[in-house]
Amino acid sequence: MTQVLFYLLCAVALLGAFGVVIARSAMGSVLSLLATFFALAVIYLLAGFQFIAAAQILVYAGAILVLFLFVIMLLNLGGMGSRFELDFEPLKGTRAKVAAAVAAGLALIGLIAAQRASPKPIEVPAGETPIDGLDRLAVALFGRYALPFQAVSLLLLVTMVAVIVLAKRQRPGAGTGEEENR
């Protein structure tokens, strides 16, 4: 039962990823990515990572995809009949072949590495206790990994400042904006 569900979710995740690549509009890509993220969250749950599954849904599906949707709608890129419609234009000629060869080679390397990674898979009974129990995770995060944690919080602060500076619309007469007043 778990196996069947797992393979079904793998198929959903891979089809969603494929949909991101081949969707004609950016909106279709976002919706395919949403399917992939939800499938991955349930896969994390099946593999015994409850907190990571919750974080996946909250952060990826809840925050990042909403950000993508917001930008797509703000820039009016999503609709099929919009002025700035961006059709699926695969690269022509050699560049597409090189891209496909790179992706196929990466997949091959990954599959070989996965094949050789575990000569004897260790069976952990799923569903009993999560591997990432919140108590253990919190002790590790604020104990042994306190320095990376603080570095990441500093990174978030820097990101916030950078995004405000980048996305701020500059007034027509105030400063040396490279863009014209708009």
Partner 1 sequence: MSVHPEHLLFLSAGLFALGVLGFLIRRNVIVMLMCVELMLNAANLTFLAGSRLHSTPGAPDLQGPIFTVFVITIAAAEAAVGLALIIALFRLKQSADTDQAAEMKG
Residues within window 62-81 making contact with partner 1, judged by CB under 8 A: 63-64, 67-68, 71-72, 74-75, 77
Centroid of chain to Cα 3: 24
Residue 59 makes contact with partner 1 by CB under 8 A: yes
Q: How far is the CB of 174 from partner 1 (least distance, A)?
A: 16
Q: 91 vs 173, which CB is nearer to partner 1?
A: 91
For residues 69 and 46, the answer to whether their CB atoms sit within 8 Å is: no
Residue 21 makes contact with partner 1 by CB under 8 A: yes
Q: How far is the CB of 153 from partner 1 (least distance, A)?
A: 9
CA distances from 152 to 45, 53, 127, 147, 159 (A): 25, 20, 30, 9, 10
The residues near 115 (Cβ < 8 Å, ≥ 6 apart) are none
Residue 135 makes contact with partner 1 by CB under 8 A: no
Residue 126 makes contact with partner 1 by CB under 8 A: yes
Residue 42 makes contact with partner 1 by CB under 8 A: no
Residue 88 CB coordination number (10 Å):
11
